[in-house]
Structure 1
Amino acid sequence: MAHEILVDLFKNRPSLAAEILVEVLGVPLPPYTGARLTSFDLTQIQPAEYRADLVVVLLEGDVPVGVLIVEVQLGIDPRKRFSWPEYTMGARAAHRYQVGLLVVAPDPDVAAWCAAPIETGIPGFILRPPVLGREAIPIVTDPAEAVRRPELAVLSALAHGDSEQGA
């Protein structure tokens, strides 16, 4: 259930992944004016099936300019060290846009594991997943900000609700 709640926050507001990558994690993205969901099925014609939690297309007007893959990770899963590079390159090949990855990992130990570079074996191609861990989630206390971006306010409450700022 926790996994689905986090996925739903990003599903409800497709631009949230881009906002977090740029504003919180400092990852540059192409200029865009909107975002929409697209199929999360990244299956290729081969025995393995790959399904991302969420795939968001960034738009400049009505023109697609990029793809973001959102993965919620609640535990350490060594298979992800192989599937995340596949997701990113599969989405790049399928959509033919710049691709980004955002891993949402509320648990600090899981977030640290997720952020470790993934060596692909191709010189120069090392995937360094941007990870939104608990400590990186902004603390939203301004009611106007919470109304403007309720999904970010929910993320903030989930991450910091039991802290001193939670009240």
Structure 2
Amino acid sequence: MAVDTSFYKSFMSEEIRDEGRTEGRAEGRTEGRAESLLLILGVRGIAVTDSIRDQITTCTDPEILHEWLQRAATASSAEEVFRTP
């Protein structure tokens, strides 16, 4: 007996899958930026407290993470990286 799989190929299901892929990729990029930021801070010898680590790993805004990454490249302290303008 053949199983009807047309539902899984429907427009709506494809749209839902595509949306999930897009969201997953965005989350992956955000997590990657957070990991990169922690790596840069560690390599540069900048102390990362538990609260700073939490601030980085819970941030979901890729623009903020990008800004922190740029600052981390030249900062001499965590305060310089996470200062507010």
Tell me if TM exceeds 0.5: no
Structure with a larger share of its residues in strand: 1
**Higher Cα Rg: structure 1 or 2?**
2
Structure with a larger share of its residues in helix: 2
Structure with bigger RCO (C-alpha 8 Å, 6+ apart):
2
